[in-house]
Amino acid sequence: MGRIVVSFKIFPSTVEVDFEKLKKTIREKLSKEAEVYRFEEEPIAFGLKALITHLIIPEELEGQMDKVEKLLKEIEDISEIQTLMVRRVS
């Protein structure tokens, strides 16, 4: 069974977004679809940060990437999502 590692750059809706709360929400929302490998915070400008989210997704499930992106976009504190990297791992 193969797995895919996907990295997303997640932009918060405002500067005031609590990243710890956002991380918890992402973990809960994706618990059945993907495993959160790790989070990183990346400074953008003027106090705004992006959240780099690394996920592990089962390869054999068709349409799983689209499902994960859709679930992320449903989170209120997220304004935009950018896919940074998709890589197959064994």
39 by Cβ neighbours in 10 Å (0-12 / 13-18 / 19+) ranks as middle
pLDDT score recorded for residue 83? 94
- Of the pLDDT bands very low, low, confident and very high (cuts 50, 70, 90), residue 6 is very high
Q: Could you tell me the residue range of the domain that residue 75 belongs to?
A: 3-89
Q: Bridge partners of 11?
A: 80
Q: At 11, which CATH number?
A: 3.30.70.60
The pTM score is 0.89
| Cα 67 to Cα 14, 24, 25, distances in angstroms | 24, 19, 16
- Of the pLDDT bands very low, low, confident and very high (cuts 50, 70, 90), residue 1 is low
Total number of domains constituting the chain: 1
